[in-house]
Amino acid sequence: MNEQQQQTVPPAGERAYERCICREAMDWWMGLFQIPQTTRHHIRNSRIEFLKAVRSVIDERIAHLSGQSQQGTTVNVE
């Protein structure tokens, strides 16, 4: 069985999360400072909005690149 197929049960009181660089960075950052629990909860929930913003930037860039006409050169064939 591969890693994705394995189901593990987290210890009582803990939640299971998908591995995400944003979450790992936030956990590291919050570990450096004494942040109140309500603020930690807000930061965790803001991760979704951050990922939506990244998706929006990527979608806009794709639309920009797709809208550009590709310039070619004309070759005269004899």
- Which of 4-13, 22-31, 42-51, 69-78 has the highest mean predicted lDDT (pLDDT)? 42-51
Write out pLDDT tens, residues 1-35.
455 445 455 555 566 666 788 778 877 877 788 77
For 1-16, what is the HEC assignment? CCCCCCCCCCCCCCCC
Full-prediction pTM beyond 0.75?
no
Per this entry, what is the length of the chain? 78
Rounded CA-CA distance 23/17 in Å is 9
pLDDT more than 70, % of the chain:
73
Pick the more confident residue, 3 or 70.
70
Q: Answer whether 16's CB lies under 8 Å from 8's CB.
A: yes
Give 36's DSSP letter. Answer: -
